[in-house]
Chain A
Amino acid sequence: MPTYQQFPLPDAGEGLTEADIVTWHVAVGDRVEVNQTIVEIETAKSLVDLPCPWTGVVTRLLVDVGQTVEVGTPIIEVDVDPGGAAPAPTAAPAAEGVRARQPHASRSSVEPGGADEVGSVRDELRTAAASDDTAGSGAVLVGYGVADGTATRRQRATAPAATSAPTTAPTTAPTSAPADTSATRPDGTAHALAKPPVRKLARDLGVDLDAVTPTGPGGIVTREDVLAHSVRAEGRELATYPGDDRPWAAGGVVSPDGRQTRVPVKSVRKRTAEAMVSSAFSAPHVTVFHTVDVTRTMKLVERLRADREFADVRVTPLLVAAKALLMAVNRRPEINASWDEATQEIVYKHYVNLGIAAATPRGLVVPNIKDAHRLDLLGLARGLGELTSTARAGRTSPADMSDGTITITNVGVFGIDTGTPILNPGEAAILAFGAIRQQPWVHKGKIKPRHVTQLALSFDHRLVDGELGSRVLADVAAVLAEPAQALVWG
């Protein structure tokens, strides 16, 4: 049986991350011995011959001459037991970790002939002064970044050709410019010269050293140069502190003119955006409204607040609204469902995980009370209290937010009458509970000051028709208008 072994590119120095393939000394079909030189590579430190770890037959060369290969990437495949049956190729060559070299457009123009191009380049490298270390091959040591457009050592060899047309303003040269143009600075060096602490400062500030105008002796970029460049050209990260008045701007970067701050979309904000987009543009929303006299609910709330049994929980109109919604779902369970696009099915839930939209310091979260349909009013009050305090503390877990079946958004706490809420993804309905105010209201034939609120119910029209949605909202309103209705519906 053929047995294939792949040789991953080793770290030939200490902490090297990549190397260039210079010459293959073997070809597919060649017999190789242990420790036979198979390939010459060039690392950031040196040209190195790599010996074969096995005896066998070369079945594939997985990388080409000129390629830059990350340490650990397989470079050659050897059949170490070539006596067996015809080779069945193994997995595709690892394209990952292999980067095409930047084209050497200008190299052939300065290299005499192409007879032994690699060889002559190599000779140049070997005679290159040791002080040229800053113009490295682009292969880097762990912990040292490589700037865009880094000229490779080989490209460096072409610098004399490029110097004949020096770039005029290196400070404005885009960092992505071809290596052969960016390689030439006014002082003829391939890269900005700077001491390690200055390099670190530049990296911390996100400043491209090559773009900084050097003022130090011998064309060295100084700390002051980096700072000046940074202030002039770069946006600065906005400093924020716990408890300051602009938490939304935390992590933002102020634009150079100081008139805008750009904040990366992350975390809760990102999830909210994704959920809203997915819901709003997949479920056709319909919203129905109802204004209702909730004076009796308010009286019930007052009574319950005085009730010993409810002494240790918060009793709010929202609690009654939640119970009212649960009763409505009980009467019309088909509202408690979701649309499964993938299987083209409607999933009716025999349980209610009642979502409560909560504004928290981290943003909007929608945790739900699990199996809320099993809870009595006291249990529901406890569930609401727990959910609210967990959310306020920012400790809401993903499990708390998953598998909701229907949701209430209590916009009334902000003094708002009502809104057209967007469905929590995967649910068919969401109830907006508006502010309760005393208003003139016709009660028993007379205009009386009554506690009035507006309810709105958005539903997914794919599976909920206007009749069902309207009836559910009417049921909620009926319980809020006359809590005794609950006795009737049990």
Chain B
Amino acid sequence: MSTSAPAADGPLTDDGLVQLLTPAGERVAHPEYDAWAAELDGERLRAMYRDMVLTRRFDTEATSLQRQGELALYAQCLGQEAAQIGSGHALAPQDHVFPSYREHGVALARGLEMTDLLRLFRGVDHGGWDPAAHGFHLFTLVIGSHTLHATGYAMGVQRDGLVGTGDPTRDTAVVTYFGDGATAQGDVSEALVFSSVNQAPVVLFCQNNQFAISEPTSRQSRVPLADRAPGFGVPSVRVDGNDVVATYAVTRQALERARSGGGPTFVEAFTYRMGAHTTSDDPTRYRTSEQEEHWRRRDPIERLRVHLERTGELPEVFQAQLAAESDAFGEHVRAAVRAMGHPSPHSMFEHVYATPHAVVESERAWFAQYEQSFVGPDGRTTGGHR
């Protein structure tokens, strides 16, 4: 075996990917997954298209806001919209998502107020939303650790008897999103071990965007990432992550397996991070413009657009409405971010414990008193600007 490092650019391999929509927008048949995609009629595909367009608009707007000094940092999901919207649309309301920090498309599909995501990136909140409200956990910046949280949550779901009842409104699956880089973390291996031995209802959804910041997947693994899971006893599948239909179908199957008590699935959605790792990163330092161009031609949104147009499912009036909605959404995001105030310092005591806690309460009281000590005789606060 050659000991030289694999080529730094280009995918390890894109053979054997489940694909239902070719890069040219052509629907192709698949013996196993056609059934799982059958429910996607024109209307549902348009809904996915809309969410992908809005996700991209959110992404570019947030990137601009970072460049304008309104956000401290932002992690783009540019190019990964199909992987996120396809899987996001496959979820049931009772399912619970454990994202990393790039799953803006999944958040949109789950119905979050998107500007809440940016509270974290603006640095005015450690979280920004109620995870229970939309079944969408807080972003986790630590790589891979949340796959264990997801596994534990799934084991809880199991113990609550919410698996395998046959009631589609009760049976619950858990999905955790992570990247190719995270698969090298011990946490992800532990999540595979625990989910496997416990038959936990969890889908381990790996968006292989081919870069762990600057390190290509070819330098992270000798085998396709999905090949690792069977060693833990977890079935896996590789799907074209830029194909929203295939991603939907593969995720639907994996979720159904989880809900019915069939245990975990590892999904490797093979995609490409068209943007930078974060706004602090410069991808031109480690990848070529040829490679970027190759993937630009495989743009997931363009693929679905061509398909919808070909099948006559994309009327002009819909496109015009979507363009207007997208512009309005962009302006909404911009205005909302600029208007984000500073959080009350007292908010730090909230959500520390689920139930009242004596130490937190005494600290809260002390802090209120301390804050009060800055109020001058005229009633105005004399402390520093907050």
User: What residues make up the interface of A, taking CB atoms closer than 8 Å to B?
Assistant: 7-14, 34-35, 45-53, 126, 128, 130
Q: Shortest distance in angstroms between B145's beta carbon and chain A's nearest beta carbon? A: 20
Are A35's CB and B64's CB within 8 A? yes
- Give bound CA distance, A8 to B69, whole Å: 8
Which residues of chain B have C-beta atoms less than 8 A from A48's C-beta?
Answer: 67, 282
Are A11's CB and B282's CB within 8 A? no
- Give bound CA distance, A34 to B330, whole Å: 11
Q: Residues of B within 8 Å of A, CB-based: how many?
A: 20
- Answer whether residue B68 sits at the interface, using C-beta atoms and an 8 A cutoff: yes
- Give 6 nearest A-B pairs by CB, closest first: A46-B282, A10-B69, A13-B280, A51-B64, A53-B68, A35-B64
Are A13's CB and B279's CB within 8 A? yes
- Answer whether residue B61 sits at the interface, using C-beta atoms and an 8 A cutoff: yes
- Give bound CA distance, A68 to B68, whole Å: 18
| Interface hits, B332-367 → A, CB 8 Å | 334
Name B282's contact: one of A8, A34, A47, A53 (CB within 8 Å): A47
Which residues of chain B have C-beta atoms less than 8 A from A47's C-beta?
Answer: 282, 284
| Interface hits, B39-64 → A, CB 8 Å | 60-61, 64
Which residues of chain B have C-beta atoms less than 8 A from A8's C-beta?
Answer: 69
- Answer whether residue B66 sits at the interface, using C-beta atoms and an 8 A cutoff: yes
Mostly, the B contact residues are: loop
| Interface hits, B199-221 → A, CB 8 Å | 214
**20 contacting pairs across A/B (C-beta < 8 A):** A7-B68, A9-B69, A10-B67, A10-B68, A11-B72, A12-B280, A13-B280, A14-B72, A14-B73, A14-B280, A34-B334, A45-B280, A45-B282, A48-B282, A50-B68, A51-B68, A52-B68, A53-B68, A130-B214, A130-B285
| Interface hits, B155-198 → A, CB 8 Å | none
Are A50's CB and B67's CB within 8 A? yes
Which residues of chain B have C-beta atoms less than 8 A from A50's C-beta?
Answer: 67-68
Q: Shortest distance in angstroms between B87's beta carbon and chain A's nearest beta carbon? A: 29
Are B214's CB and A12's CB within 8 A? no
Are B284's CB and A12's CB within 8 A? no
- Answer whether residue B309 sits at the interface, using C-beta atoms and an 8 A cutoff: no
Q: Look across to chain A and name the residue whose beta carbon is closest to the beta carbon of B284.
A: A126
Are B64's CB and A126's CB within 8 A? no
Which residues of chain B have C-beta atoms less than 8 A from A130's C-beta?
Answer: 214, 285-286
Are A49's CB and B72's CB within 8 A? no
- Give bound CA distance, A9 to B67, whole Å: 9
Which residues of chain B have C-beta atoms less than 8 A from A45's C-beta?
Answer: 280-282
| Interface hits, B269-327 → A, CB 8 Å | 276, 279-282, 284-286
- Give bound CA distance, A66 to B70, whole Å: 25
Q: Can you add 11 more A-B contacts, CB < 8 Å, to A46-B282, A52-B68?
A: A9-B69, A11-B72, A12-B67, A13-B279, A45-B281, A46-B281, A47-B282, A50-B67, A51-B64, A51-B67, A53-B70
| Interface hits, B244-292 → A, CB 8 Å | 276, 279-282, 284-286
Which residues of chain A have C-beta atoms less than 8 A from B279's C-beta?
Answer: 12-13
Q: Look across to chain A and name the residue whose beta carbon is closest to the beta carbon of B72.
A: A14
Which residues of chain A have C-beta atoms less than 8 A from B214's C-beta?
Answer: 130
- Give bound CA distance, A367 to B61, whole Å: 63
Are B285's CB and A128's CB within 8 A? yes
Which residues of chain B have C-beta atoms less than 8 A from A52's C-beta?
Answer: 68
Q: When A14-B73, A34-B334, A45-B280 are in contact, do A126 and B68 touch as well, CB less than 8 Å?
A: no
Q: Shortest distance in angstroms between A157's beta carbon and chain B's nearest beta carbon? A: 15
- Give bound CA distance, A296 to B285, whole Å: 93
Which residues of chain A have C-beta atoms less than 8 A from B281's C-beta?
Answer: 45-46
Which residues of chain A have C-beta atoms less than 8 A from B334's C-beta?
Answer: 34
Q: Shortest distance in angstroms between B219's beta carbon and chain A's nearest beta carbon? A: 13
- Give bound CA distance, A34 to B60, whole Å: 12
For B64-96 the 0/1 string (1 means CB < 8 A from A) is 101111101100000000000000000000000
Which residues of chain A have C-beta atoms less than 8 A from B282's C-beta?
Answer: 45-48
Which residues of chain B have C-beta atoms less than 8 A from A7's C-beta?
Answer: 68
Which residues of chain A have C-beta atoms less than 8 A from B280's C-beta?
Answer: 12-14, 45-46
Which residues of chain B have C-beta atoms less than 8 A from A126's C-beta?
Answer: 284-285
Which residues of chain A have C-beta atoms less than 8 A from B286's C-beta?
Answer: 130
Which residues of chain B have C-beta atoms less than 8 A from A34's C-beta?
Answer: 64, 334
Which residues of chain A have C-beta atoms less than 8 A from B285's C-beta?
Answer: 46, 126, 128, 130
Which residues of chain B have C-beta atoms less than 8 A from A35's C-beta?
Answer: 60-61, 64
Are A12's CB and B72's CB within 8 A? no
Q: Look across to chain B and name the residue whose beta carbon is closest to the beta carbon of A132.
A: B285
Are A49's CB and B69's CB within 8 A? no
Which residues of chain B have C-beta atoms less than 8 A from A9's C-beta?
Answer: 69
- Give bound CA distance, A39 to B192, whole Å: 47
Q: When A34-B334, A35-B64 are in contact, do A11 and B284 touch as well, CB less than 8 Å?
A: no
- Give bound CA distance, A205 to B214, whole Å: 35
Q: Shortest distance in angstroms between B236's beta carbon and chain A's nearest beta carbon? A: 32
Are A49's CB and B67's CB within 8 A? yes
Q: Shortest distance in angstroms between A19's beta carbon and chain B's nearest beta carbon? A: 11
Q: Shortest distance in angstroms between B134's beta carbon and chain A's nearest beta carbon? A: 28
